Amino acid sequence: MKYYSTNNKNEFVDFKTAVMSGLASDGGLFLPDRIPPLSKSFLDELSNLSTIEIAVNIADKFIDDEIENNTLQKIIEQSITFPSPLVELNESFSILELFHGPTLAFKDFGARFMARTMEHFIKDENEELNILVATSGDTGSAVANGFLGVEGINVFVLYPSGKVSKIQEQQFTTLGNNIKAIEIEGTFDDCQKIVKQAFVDKEIIGRKKMSSANSINIARLIPQTFYYFDAFKQNREKDNLIFCVPSGNFGNLTAGLFAKKMGLPVNKFIAATNSNDIFPKYLSSGIFHPKPSKKTYSNAMDVGNPSNLSRIIDLFNNDLDEIKSVIYSNTFSDEETLSAIAEVRNEFEYVIDPHGAVGYLAALDYKKNVTDSSRIIILETAHAAKFADVVEKAIGEKVIIPVRLEECMHKEKQSIMISNDYNEFKNYFIHS
């Protein structure tokens, strides 16, 4: 298996290079030169396989012999130590709970796998690896916790000041050790721009060994395919699957597209977005027009220039009609999000977070506008307690805070404030 840049299909690298560099030297994102198909017998036997067996089978297709099977199994066993249960709301909707990992967000799947994969690759090297990651919420805590204490790796988490929830901020600014929290005076898009600029900065490249832990890194996407197959295993219906994916940087949706191209019988994806509506507008106009992100209640989706859109366009050979045949999308406001949280609580006695609520709204919208009786699986990407202020505003009652979240709220915040000027960050990073 080789990987190419979305900016250049004629140059290829191996899996290790794609993971350790994060971003291609030309600024493009890595994609596999082919999406490896899974055999029909594997899909038929899925219900008899454990989560670990499913994951090893899938990951091995992307890695080939670069990590031997026993080591790969150990990496996955150490990474995926939590379930992703499928909960039925009614005959039309199910919730895939992806918040049972250490930081209570779906990004634990990718961050932990990536941390252990990188740890494996650098074990015989003398040079320290520096991980740069931009976060609008959950990525920072998942990556920070995934890499905490990993020898030879330093993590720099860039986040927009005042634009992540208090709980999210506490999860990655109180760890210390090899985790550095950088508070940027700006938006998530500013953070992401700084990270991307650093990766093509020749002076930094000459002085620092770097990689990214955002969903621009292919090692984040591969493990996110695992839970799509796990959902299929748990679902009563075994065909015409529809997944509704709360979407910001579109890594989660890209992983779902990988799963479909590998042979998972997915009929449709619903890309649920908040008022950062770049993708629905792209589907309707055919024009990708990035714009500054807006702050919303579903802040992990506050992305005005989604990186993974280039991967999606590439996977469909830039065929807009083909993209629209597979992906449905719509956008929803904060007011609608609050109403949806209340509706899900009242109708199903289920407490959903703001991102899942946007997913629920998009699923309802799809059922209203498309004649399709298939069950929709809504990805619930984070625990409601991570957004307690919003959820409590919607349902009028206190949200139970899990012990692991409660503990981090009493720790001391450790962060460095920097403006959104790239040169200020560069000066700090080079001398750190």
DSSP secondary structure, 139-178, as one string: HHHHHHHHHTT-TTEEEEEEEETT-S-HHHHHHHHS--TT
Structural domain includes residue 47 = no
Residue 176 gets the label, from left (phi > 0), alpha (psi -120 to 50) or beta, of left
Q: Is the pLDDT of residue 22 over 90?
A: no
CA pair distance 237, 374, nearest whole angstrom? 9
How would residue 350 be classed by pLDDT, with cut points 50, 70 and 90? very high
The whole-number pLDDT of residue 127 equals 84
Structural domain includes residue 347 = yes
Structural domain includes residue 269 = yes
Tokens 């379930």, located at residue? 83
Structural domain includes residue 179 = no
The whole-number pLDDT of residue 106 equals 95
Structural domain includes residue 22 = no
pTM for the model: 0.91
Q: Which of 9, 61, 107, 413 is catalytic?
A: 107
107 is catalytic: yes
How would residue 27 be classed by pLDDT, with cut points 50, 70 and 90? confident
Q: Output the DSSP codes for 389-414.
A: HHHHHHHSSPPPPPHHHHHHTTSPP-
Rank 133-142, 235-244, 253-262 by mean pLDDT and report only the highest. Answer: 253-262
Q: Taking a C-beta distance cutoff of 8 angstroms, is the pair 336, 363 a contact?
A: no
CA pair distance 150, 358, nearest whole angstrom? 35
Structural domain includes residue 48 = no
Structural domain includes residue 409 = no
How many domains are there within the chain?
Answer: 1
Q: Taking a C-beta distance cutoff of 8 angstroms, is the pair 387, 338 a contact?
A: no
Structure tokens at 336: 């609608």
Structural domain includes residue 94 = yes
Q: Taking a C-beta distance cutoff of 8 angstroms, is the pair 367, 373 a contact?
A: no
The residue-averaged pLDDT of 316-331 equals 98
Q: Is 206 helix (H, G, I), strand (E, B) or coil?
A: helix
The residue-averaged pLDDT of 306-331 equals 97
The whole-number pLDDT of residue 21 equals 87
**Quick one: which H or E segment has residue 68?**
none
How would residue 29 be classed by pLDDT, with cut points 50, 70 and 90? very high
Q: Is the pLDDT of residue 71 over 80?
A: yes
CATH of the domain at 353: 3.40.50.1100
CA pair distance 15, 181, nearest whole angstrom? 28
For 260-271, how does the pLDDT look when each residue is reduced to its tens digit (9 = 90+)?
999 999 999 999
**Quick one: which H or E segment has residue 232?**
helix 226-234
Question: 96 lies in which domain range?
Answer: 81-106+220-401
* CA distances (Å), origin 231, targets 51, 155, 237, 261, 266: 10, 32, 11, 16, 11
The whole-number pLDDT of residue 393 equals 97
Residue 22 gets the label, from left (phi > 0), alpha (psi -120 to 50) or beta, of left
